[in-house]
Structure 1
């Protein structure tokens, strides 16, 4: 782990780095956390990089690389593609021998050379982003991701037909697609395998409309269309479900849409996982229909998320909406 708080040392002192090309490392203060520093690259010359002198072996192992980055510009550096390098370990430019973790065309990009992945969201300059790149050696699967929060072991929520409610405050910076609340469970360890189950519960379509969704069978979605939410402003969103009233969607305590008939919610049958701010892969499976929500990073803020094991009433929602507010 490299904190870049005024030096290039590994937190544990094992894989300390040093500047390349005879340059001196430069830093900006504060970093993302509001204290300490951040390594500054490219602002003082086009050939700035750092290298780890001690060999860091990631051969035949699983690994994850994550970082907070603040791109100030996007450059054209390789083969006509606008690449900005974050991390690389390259033996030769041949299949599976050149690990490169970069931004390409302003999107996260993860490749071993010849079997690469690229993200969907175009990054903008002068904004902080959390990026994560993961490789599972046992399954030989790669994953690229950005910001999300996840919690697991939701046993009650794994039961079909049981009532639930979800409420949260959102402050979207963009509404051009993105998953706000995603549920997963089932037989796969990440809930998204061929026999897994997952559900984009709340998010935006590519046109900016807010949608709430749930499942009435392993391959059928109940979809509610909500309003176009105001950007750069807080909105209180609530989803409720019961076998009596079906699915309902509220914004700022006002009912916006409800299912036309009662139905039984079909869950995974095992403890579920909730992911906030992003979805999981696996939309090609019949157990994970995407519906009207665009699978992409949600861009904005989330506050006061709650999951209830009952259907909230209109009076409950009105009380929650008024106290407290972000």
Structure 2
């Protein structure tokens, strides 16, 4: 799935939250949420959420000093899991699983984007050029599993809001 022309994810000053239900069918590394300045990923791009081959979730944000990678929760295979990534400049990047905050960036970070409308791709990674923000724990590839109820917010969700999406 691909959504093009997203303008609130393209600016460096905006907070965001991405939430999704996933069920992984393999521990093979693969992209779940990839954001890029073009539909094919060349130029600026970042894999925001990934399933890394250790069976863990990986999330990363992009800042002027490079990527901010987070990895922590082990995801059960063949079981539905609610995942959320939240970002706000004073709180930094946070990775949630089933309504529980698992890991947060050690300090605040500044999200750095292209300031042009971006494309969000799910279940596949796109090509990227040198200098983009794809380094770190995230690897490229297709995610093997199922995705459901993806939601994108142009603000950081609170603990109460993340929890209410897990247990409506």
Q: 2:33 aligns with which of 178, 181, 187?
A: 181
Q: 2:157 aligns with which of 303, 308, 312?
A: 312
- Residues 172 and 231, structure 1, Cα contact 8 Å, conserved in 2: yes
In the TM superposition, residue 229 of structure 1 has moved relative to its aligned partner by 0.2
- Structure 1 segments unaligned to the other structure (5+ residues): 1-148
Q: Report the counterpart of residue 269 of structure 1 in structure 2.
A: 115
Q: Output the CA distance in 1 between the equivalents of 2:136 and 2:41.
A: 16
The reply to whether residue 295 of structure 1 matches residue 140 of structure 2 is yes
- Residues 212 and 226, structure 1, Cα contact 8 Å, conserved in 2: no
Q: Output the CA distance in 2 between the equivalents of 1:293 and 1:216.
A: 15
- Residues 183 and 272, structure 1, Cα contact 8 Å, conserved in 2: yes
C-alpha distance after superposition, 1:90-119 (max 9, x if no partner)? xxxxxxxxxxxxxxxxxxxxxxxxxxxxxx
Q: Output the CA distance in 2 between the equivalents of 1:240 and 1:310.
A: 8
Task: Provide the secondary structure at the position in 2 that maps to 1:305.
Answer: strand
- Residues 191 and 198, structure 1, Cα contact 8 Å, conserved in 2: no
- The number of aligned residues is 168
Q: Which has the higher contact order (CA 8 A, sep 6+)?
A: 2
In the TM superposition, residue 287 of structure 1 has moved relative to its aligned partner by 1.3
Q: 1:203 aligns with which of 50, 68, 72?
A: 50
More strand by share: 2
The structure having more radius of gyration, on CA atoms, is 1
Q: TM-score, normalised by structure 1?
A: 0.50
Q: 2:126 aligns with which of 258, 280, 291?
A: 280
Task: Provide the secondary structure at the position in 2 that maps to 1:285.
Answer: coil
- Residues 7 and 118, structure 2, Cα contact 8 Å, conserved in 1: yes
Q: TM-score, normalised by structure 2?
A: 0.95
Q: 2:41 aligns with which of 192, 202, 216?
A: 192
Q: 1:160 aligns with which of 2, 6, 12?
A: 12
Give the 5 Å matches for 1:92-241.
149-185=1-37, 189-190=38-39, 192-193=41-42, 196-217=43-64, 220-241=66-87
In the TM superposition, residue 292 of structure 1 has moved relative to its aligned partner by 1.0
Task: Provide the secondary structure at the position in 1 that maps to 2:107.
Answer: coil
- Structure 2 segments unaligned to the other structure (5+ residues): none
In the TM superposition, residue 191 of structure 1 has moved relative to its aligned partner by 5.7
